[in-house]
Structure 1
Amino acid sequence: MSGMPKVAVLMSVYKNDQISWLNQALDSIACQSYGSENIRLYLAVDGQVGNDLEDVLALRKNEIHKLVRNNVNRGLSKTLNLLIDSLEDEVLAFRMDADDVCMPDRFEIQAKFLLENRNIGIVGSGCTEIDENGVALRERTYPEHASEIEKFACKANPMLHPSMCYRCDLFDEGLRYPANYRLSQDWALVFEAIRRGIVLHNIPKSLINWRLSSDFFARRSIERSWQEFIIGMGGIYKIRRISWRYIYPFARLAFRLLPTPVAKFVYGSQLRKSFLK
């Protein structure tokens, strides 16, 4: 697309990323209707990786605008902040995970939305959850408007992290991922954005295939559960101060500590949907 501003894509990879999924993610970026000439991929390698991943990076080096390496694994927050610090003159920055797949018109839709709605600072979208083989499981939508997003944030993350697109001038104003969180840093960033008065929006359309691996629920460790609890409690205090909504982090913590089979059942059940209304 001619006449469109340059945009950045922020992606981090590490040793456990699957090569086939990474290639699918990179292919989906290369095939964007927004035009590859307008897209700059900022890719970080977080720690030491295997030869197979290095081979992919070498093979696709012409698709990578800037490559950043950490000698040791520093975690997603610090690594994304390094990428943000290395941005050039891009107007927008898209998040993308190494195992997800963008719809071909994702960048075009989100870029046009932000260019036409100057009051919006960050825009996300709905998604299609897929399994390890790319089979669609369910559609997920998120609260659309800023007031709904702020209300929902007290219950759970109101935006899907890899679907988010930022105005780069927010980074110039100091917005960064909270470096003190190695997990669920995207939820903490949403709370900080709301505190700063940044207007958030979700496009009610699936613009990304979000992959749920078979160990998705097993990876819900006690550490992650506790960190989500701390983020939820601290975030509610940031945007609400005194509120009855502190009940939500406690309920979320209880859910996270359920046995994996029970958590998997509840995740797709009407009970969870009712809780998140």
Structure 2
Amino acid sequence: MHKHFSLLHNKYNKNNAETLVGMALYHGDKEEWVIQAIDSILNQTYEDFVFVVVIDGEVSVKMTNLLKDKAFSDNRLVLAQNTFNVGLAESMNRAVEWGACLSPTFFARMDADDISTPNRLSRQVSYLRKHSYISVLGSALTEINEKGEKVGSRVMPSSHRQIINILPRRCSLNHPTVVIRYSVFEQGYRYNNSLLNTQDYFLWITLAAEGFVFRNLKDRLLAFRRVNNFYKRRGLTKSINEFKARWHAMVKLKRLTPYNVFYACGVLTLRIMPGNVVKWAYKLDRHLLERFGKH
């Protein structure tokens, strides 16, 4: 176990679990949303999982007590603590490595401000059981605001071919919905912990280049929290990282075309424009993705 990663609460009393669910939370996460996210996993119709929540750095005493109360009420909830904030990628890598001793078959992602539908894990796990050649499975999602009201949706292309074709232009999986076969990690693949964002995008590019098969379900299995600052300027660092990811995808997947280069440059320019312009472009992107991204 990593020296800066420790278990805060672990009463999981089984020797194995078919699925490990990984979630990280941070200082500033809203207690109400965190509890909704945790409850949405603990109340799944599917039950053969261990749920590892990584507290990434210091959080409030109130948050810690709420988490401990939840963990005492359900032994499947394991609390881990990073000594200091290391980011999502490293938090998930540490959760994956800790859980390896339980010999899980699947790793499911969850975010601390989202809500999984009650049948999410059942739907995704059963699909992966039936399709052993698929290594990474995502789904569509519903977008909700701070009040939990539906404000949109995000339906990604379903087929492997479409996912790979679109990957040089955009991340074609909804990261909080993804379930990954543990065998991917057993072969040495990890999130790039040197990145503070776009970690999932780079991982999908690497796995796609290595021949792993992807799929997206059209079922909306997660409510994704779209907050008021969602459309704000992304900042130069994140925008450049996204551009690097697109360029990396073009090179690794041998899709260095004029259209893909133009798209990457256009998005880089868009990211630093005012929020109302970004909002308009986001809605147009969702419309085009649902219309032309079908298999």
Pair in the same fold by TM > 0.5? yes
Q: Which moved more, 1:241-250 or 1:5-14?
A: 241-250
Paired residues of 2:144 and 2:225 also in contact (CA < 8 A): yes
> What's the counterpart of residue 29 of structure 1?
41
TM-score (norm 2): 0.87
2:31 to 19, 31, 49: 19
Structure 1 letter corresponding to 2:54: A
SS of the equivalent of 1:60 reads: helix
Does residue 57 of structure 1 match 2:72?
A: no
Structure 2 letter corresponding to 1:93: F
TM-score (norm 1): 0.93
2:236 to 189, 211, 222: 222
**Which aligned pairs between 1:1-277 and structure 2 lie closer than 5 A?**
6-35=18-47, 38-62=48-72, 63=74, 64-87=76-99, 88-218=102-232, 220-240=234-254, 242-244=256-258, 245-269=260-284, 273-274=287-288, 277=292
| Structure 2: gaps of 5 or more residues | 1-16
> What's the counterpart of residue 6 of structure 2?
none
Distance 1:12 1:219, change over 3 A: farther
SS of the equivalent of 2:44 reads: coil
SS of the equivalent of 2:151 reads: strand
Structure 2 letter corresponding to 1:176: R
Paired residues of 2:89 and 2:199 also in contact (CA < 8 A): yes
Distance 1:272 1:21, change over 3 A: closer
State the Cα deviation string for residues 206-265 of structure 1 (Å, max 9, x = none).
000011011112262222111111111112211116433222221211121110122112
Paired residues of 1:48 and 1:72 also in contact (CA < 8 A): yes
Paired residues of 2:197 and 2:238 also in contact (CA < 8 A): yes
CA distance, structure 2, for counterparts of residue 15 and residue 166 of structure 1: 27
| Structure 1: gaps of 5 or more residues | none
CA RMSD for the aligned pairs?
1.8
CA distance, structure 1, for counterparts of residue 150 and residue 50 of structure 2: 29
CA distance, structure 2, for counterparts of residue 70 and residue 19 of structure 1: 19
Q: How much has 1:205 moved relative to structure 2? A: 1.2
CA distance, structure 1, for counterparts of residue 39 and residue 141 of structure 2: 18
Q: Which moved more, 1:55-64 or 1:74-83?
A: 55-64
Quote the sequence identity (%): 27
Paired residues of 1:32 and 1:104 also in contact (CA < 8 A): yes
CA distance, structure 2, for counterparts of residue 242 and residue 17 of structure 1: 39
Distance 1:241 1:145, change over 3 A: closer
Q: How much has 1:189 moved relative to structure 2? A: 1.1
CA distance, structure 2, for counterparts of residue 150 and residue 176 of structure 1: 19
Structure 2 letter corresponding to 1:31: N
Query: How many residues are paired up?
Result: 271
Structure 2 letter corresponding to 1:159: L
